[in-house]
Chain A
Amino acid sequence: DTEVTQTPKHLVMGMTNKKSLKCEQHMGHRAMYWYKQKAKKPPELMFVYSYEKLSINESVPSRFSPECPNSSLLNLHLHALQPEDSALYLCASSQDLAGGREQYFGPGTRLTVT
């Protein structure tokens, strides 16, 4: 099973709201990723967690705050977003960062900021 689940599927939020995106995998993977994807573009890496520790932050604005509570869960906390942050947010996981690096993506959360 190579399933990564994400909730919610769709989210509409105002610029003053606080919301969270959730991601879960039960493949025993120890690396988890957040990507942002705009229409007709490839995914852009935002954050990478390895063994529940933040390994990569691709200079993402602080209004995006990732959290990895345990090896199966990844959250992305959103606060004071801008309309240009509207996009598909994808979570992915891989066995680890040291080898076997096939990344498996979830279905994404379609975020609209009004």
Chain B
Amino acid sequence: GENVEQHPSTLSVQEGDSAVIKCTYSDSASNYFPWYKQELGKGPQLIIDIRSNVGEKKDQRIAVTLNKTAKHFSLHITETQPEDSAVYFCAASNENSGGSNYKLTFGKGTLLTVNP
């Protein structure tokens, strides 16, 4: 089955700096890669996703890049703010798999702390 590795497990940055979180996946059939932000005491929130037919996607201060050849994808947050502090999870899945086989495989998470 799919295996997703996520690094680093913790990341501390100063407000205004950039933060980068990296994930690698093992199944070359995976083609959908969402990122979730989970604040303390809340459920995961989908913040951005990318499909394998594109290499980069941006949404304001957040961007995701995908390298299919190397089987890795990254989350980039620019101009970080204290409210960006949370746990971030990457995930991977194969949207072409049959309904009963569809499953999101999550990385272990990165605790991002943005210091004011």
- Interface residues on chain A, number (Cβ under 8 Å): 24
Q: Are B109 and A42 in contact, CB atoms less than 8 angstroms apart?
A: yes
Cβ-defined contact, B102 with A101, below 8 A: yes
Say yes or no for A98: interface residue by CB 8 A criterion: yes
Taking A42-B89, A56-B100, A105-B45 as known contacts, 16 extra A-B pairs with beta carbons closer than 8 A to each other, sorted by chain A number, are A40-B109, A41-B109, A42-B108, A42-B109, A43-B89, A43-B106, A45-B103, A97-B99, A97-B102, A98-B99, A99-B95, A101-B102, A102-B34, A102-B49, A103-B46, A107-B43
Contact check, B42 vs A55: say whether CB atoms are below 8 A apart. Answer: no
Shortest distance from the beta carbon of B2 to any chain A beta carbon, whole Å: 12
Given contacts A101-B32, A101-B93, contact A56 B103 (CB under 8 A): yes
Closest chain-B Cβ to A7's Cβ sits at a distance in Å of 13
| Cα-based distance from A95 to B99 in the complex (angstroms) | 12
* With known contacts A55-B99, A97-B99, A98-B99, A103–B104 Cβ distance under 8 A: yes
Closest 4 CB pairs of A and B: A42-B106, A97-B99, A105-B43, A107-B43
Count of inter-chain pairs, beta carbons less than 8 A: 50
Whether A102 and B108, one on each chain, are in contact in the complex, defined by CB atoms closer than 8 angstroms, is no
Q: Which residues of B contact A6 (CB under 8 A)?
A: 43
* 0 or 1 for each of A39-59: is its CB under 8 Å from B? (1 = yes): 011110100101000011000
Chain A: interface secondary structure?
loop
A-B contact pairs, 19 of them (CB 8 A): A6-B43, A40-B109, A41-B109, A42-B108, A43-B89, A56-B103, A90-B44, A97-B99, A97-B102, A98-B99, A102-B46, A103-B34, A103-B104, A105-B36, A105-B44, A105-B45, A106-B43, A107-B42, A108-B43
Interface residues of A (CB under 8 A from B): 2, 4, 6, 40-43, 45, 48, 50, 55-56, 90, 97-99, 101-108
Provide the bound-state CA to CA distance between A48 and B108, in Å. 21
User: How far, in Å, is A41 (CB) from chain B's closest CB?
Assistant: 7
Which B residue's beta carbon lies closest to that of A105?
A: B43
Give the shortest distance, in Å, between A106 (CB) and chain B (any CB): 5
